[in-house]
Amino acid sequence: MRYAVIMAGGTGTRLWPMSTRARPKQLLPLIGGRCLLDIAVRRPAGAVESSRVYICTGTDYIDKIQKEMPAFPVHQILGEPCGRDTVNAVGFSAAILSRLDADATMAVLTADHLIDPLDTFTRCLEAGFDTVEQSPQTLLTFGITPTYPATGFGYIQRGGPLAAANQALRVQAFREKPDRKTAEQYLSSGEYLWNSGMFVWKVRTILEKIQQYAPQTHAGVMEIARHWNQPDYHRTLAEIYPSLPKVSIDYAVMEKSADVAVIPMPVQWLDVGSWGSFAATLTGDAAGNKSAGCRLAALDSHGVLAVSQNDHLIATIGLQDIAIVHTPDATLVCSTAQAENIKQMVSKLQNEFGDRYV
């Protein structure tokens, strides 16, 4: 049967101070009063029944998810005791699903993207399931059709058609985040897609690949899965999971495997991982000033982003290209050109104040 697992373990450091360890970005009501995770779990509905949609997240977030999304069944939430990157999150989820359904086909989707139009996403996801069910050894990913020379995404170089498939192409190579000149070359060539971080594969196949390329992870997650629904499950999980090598599924498996295919996904795809990308979801005034969750009074100001809660008022005079994010505990004021340095600021805050503000 077909399953979907939504990866929702990150904290969203670049969306500080709104996103913190206590309330990660996927649970913030950023998009029309809805949180990204709620949008994400509903997204595969056209291809996967809701009873087979799972969330993989930190155990500390399970209660928070239940509070924000009370209709989502708690038994469909898989909790990691700590973050150990995506090869372990994928392996852990696949190992648990293998206990439920040895012949499962599994989509791995993300919790921090906005994708439009939904019907195009659904058609591509169904094509991915069809491809893997026809060719069970295939590891399939989705590549977003690029619209500009992005330097913040990895790229996939596509090859020729995959045999016995409808839309799938062979993957020729994975490329790291490029510089501007290289990104322009990728875009003009028409051979490259953005790496979406979304996948479809047979559960047994991905577990075999993890066993081949990341044997310590495989041994650990299979041992955890053997204790699933047993009295000692949480103790076993807490003992084993933190010891697993921390590495991404791309590095550990995808870049080493031969049977990798990609389906181009021609959608509007927004990774809501920074204040700049969040601003792209908002409509501004004639001067490009935008606000969310607050009132903004902008005098002689241009390109201001103001974010708060509870109808807080933010007033600016003579500012340009500035982000202001206000919470009860902290306020961020930064140049939008320097927004990528928020991670460095969070590290500075941890060094100076511990975990109080992060």
Pair (342, 223) in one structural domain:
no
How many domains does the chain contain in total?
Answer: 2
Note down the domain range covering 328.
275-353
Pair (228, 133) in one structural domain:
yes
Q: Which of 236, 271, 306 is the last residue of a domain?
A: 271
Pair (189, 256) in one structural domain:
yes
Pair (204, 312) in one structural domain:
no
Amino acid at 81: P
Pair (248, 318) in one structural domain:
no
DSSP E strands, the chain: 2-7, 53-58, 77-80, 105-110, 113-116, 139-144, 155-161, 169-175, 192-202, 260-265, 268-271, 290-299, 305-317, 322-326, 331-335
CATH number of the structural domain spanning residue 163: 3.90.550.10
Q: Which of 271, 305, 338 is the last residue of a domain?
A: 271
* pLDDT for the residue 90: 98
Pair (313, 196) in one structural domain:
no
HSE-up (13 A, CA, CB side) for residue 306: 26
Return d(Cα 269, Cα 138) in angstroms, integer: 24
Asked whether 58 and 7 are in contact (CB, 8 A), the reply is: no
Mean pLDDT of each 10-residue bin along the chain, 358 residues long? 94 90 89 92 97 97 94 97 96 98 97 95 97 96 94 92 80 94 95 96 98 98 97 97 96 95 95 89 96 96 94 96 96 93 94 93
* pLDDT for the residue 164: 56
Residue of 102, 97, 108 lying closest to 139 (CA atoms):
108
Strand, helix or coil for residue 146: coil
Asked whether 27 and 8 are in contact (CB, 8 A), the reply is: no
In sequence order, the β-bridge partners of residue 140 are 200, 261
* pLDDT for the residue 167: 85
Alpha carbon 146 to its chain centroid, in Å, reads 18
* pLDDT for the residue 10: 79
* pLDDT for the residue 233: 97
Q: Is residue 55 part of a domain?
A: yes
